[in-house]
Amino acid sequence: MKICIIGTGYVGLVSGACFSDLGNDVICVDKEKDKIFDLKNGIIPIYEPGLEELVIKNYKTKKLNFTNDLRSAVRKSDIIFICVGTPIKKNCNAADLTQVYDVSKEIRKNIRSFKIIVTKSTVPVTTGDEIEKIISRKISKKKFSIVSNPEFLREGEAIRDFIYPDRIVIGTSDKKSNKILKSLYSPLISKGAKYFNTTRRAAELIKYSSNAFLATKITFINEIANLCEKINVNVEDVSIGMGLDNRIGSRFLRTGPGYGGSCFPKDTRAIVETGKKFNIDLSIIKNVIKSNQNRSKILLSRVSKILNNKIKNKKICFLGVTFKANTDDMRESSSLKMIPYLSKKGAKITYYDPTGEKKEFKKIKNVKFCNSIKSACSLCDLIIIHTEWNDFKSLNFKNLSRKKNFTLYDMRNIYLPDKMKKDKIIYFGIGR
Ligand code: UDX
Give residue-wise pLDDT tens across range 328-337.
999 999 999 9
Residues whose CB falls within 8 Å of the CB of residue 185, separated by 6 or more in sequence, listed in order: 168, 170, 193, 195
Tell me which DSSP letter residue 402 carries.
S
Is 263 annotated in the active site? yes
Residue closest via CA to ligand 1's atom 10 equals: 154
Q: 200 CB under 6 A from ligand 1?
A: no
pLDDT at 141: 96
pLDDT at 196: 98
**CATH fold of 199-432:** Rossmann fold (3.40.50)
d(CA 14, CA 158): 7
Q: What is the atom index within ligand 1 of the atom nearest the CA of 210?
A: 5
Rounded distance from Cα 279 to ligand 1 centre (Å): 29
Q: 331 CB under 6 A from ligand 1?
A: no
Rounded distance from Cα 262 to ligand 1 centre (Å): 9
What's at 265, amino acid-wise? P
Annotated catalytic residue within 28, 263, 317, 380: 263
d(CA 106, CA 249): 44
- Residues of the chain with pLDDT > 90, as a percent, come to 95
Q: 154 CB under 6 A from ligand 1?
A: yes
Rounded distance from Cα 155 to ligand 1 centre (Å): 8
pLDDT at 90: 84
Q: 263 CB under 6 A from ligand 1?
A: yes
On whether the pTM is more than 0.75, the answer is yes
- pLDDT surpasses 90 at 20: yes
- pLDDT surpasses 90 at 17: yes
How confident is the model over 292-304, as a mean pLDDT?
A: 98
pLDDT at 264: 97
Rounded distance from Cα 187 to ligand 1 centre (Å): 26
Q: Do 2-198 and 199-432 agree at the fold level?
A: yes
- Taking the C-alpha atoms of 188, 189, 193 and 195 in order, what is their torsion angle to the nearest 10 degrees? 120
Q: Domain locations in the chain?
A: 2-198, 199-432
Query: Which whole-number Å values give the CA distances from 293 to 227, 229, 246, 255, 287, in the listed order?
Result: 18, 20, 29, 15, 10
How confident is the model over 273-291, as a mean pLDDT?
A: 97
Residues whose CB falls within 8 Å of the CB of residue 204, separated by 6 or more in sequence, listed in order: 119, 123, 124, 125, 126, 127, 128, 148, 150, 171
- Region of poorest pLDDT, from 92-96, 223-227, 345-349, 360-364: 92-96
- Taking each helix axis from N to C terminus, what angle separates 235-243 and 200-231, rounded to the nearest 10 degrees? 140
pLDDT at 177: 98
Q: 256 CB under 6 A from ligand 1?
A: yes
Q: 208 CB under 6 A from ligand 1?
A: no
Q: 315 CB under 6 A from ligand 1?
A: no
Q: 152 CB under 6 A from ligand 1?
A: yes
Residue closest via CA to ligand 1's atom 5 equals: 152
What pLDDT band is residue 92 in, cutting at 50, 70 and 90?
A: confident
Residue 293's H or E segment, with its range, is helix 283-306
How confident is the model over 254-282, as a mean pLDDT?
A: 96
What pLDDT band is residue 188 in, cutting at 50, 70 and 90?
A: very high
Best residue among 11, 214, 268, 326 to mutate for probing ligand 1's pocket (most ligand atoms within 8 Å of CB) is: 214
d(CA 370, CA 368): 6
What pLDDT band is residue 400 in, cutting at 50, 70 and 90?
A: confident
How confident is the model over 153-163, as a mean pLDDT?
A: 96
Tell me which DSSP letter residue 383 carries.
E
**CATH fold of 2-198:** Rossmann fold (3.40.50)
Contact 273, 93 (CB under 8 A): yes
Best residue among 14, 259, 327 to mutate for probing ligand 1's pocket (most ligand atoms within 8 Å of CB) is: 259
Residue closest via CA to ligand 1's atom 22 equals: 259
d(CA 426, CA 160): 38
Mean pLDDT, the chain, rounded, equals 97
Strands of the sheet containing 79-82, edge to edge, are: 64-67, 25-29, 2-6, 79-82, 115-119, 144-148, 167-171, 194-198
- Region of poorest pLDDT, from 81-95, 171-185, 249-263, 339-353: 81-95
d(CA 6, CA 28): 6
Residue-wise pLDDT for 34-52, tens only, equals 999 999 999 998 899 999 9
Q: What is the atom index within ligand 1 of the atom nearest the CA of 222?
A: 30
Residue closest via CA to ligand 1's atom 34 equals: 252
Residue-wise pLDDT for 199-248, tens only, equals 999 999 999 999 999 999 999 999 999 999 999 999 999 999 999 999 99
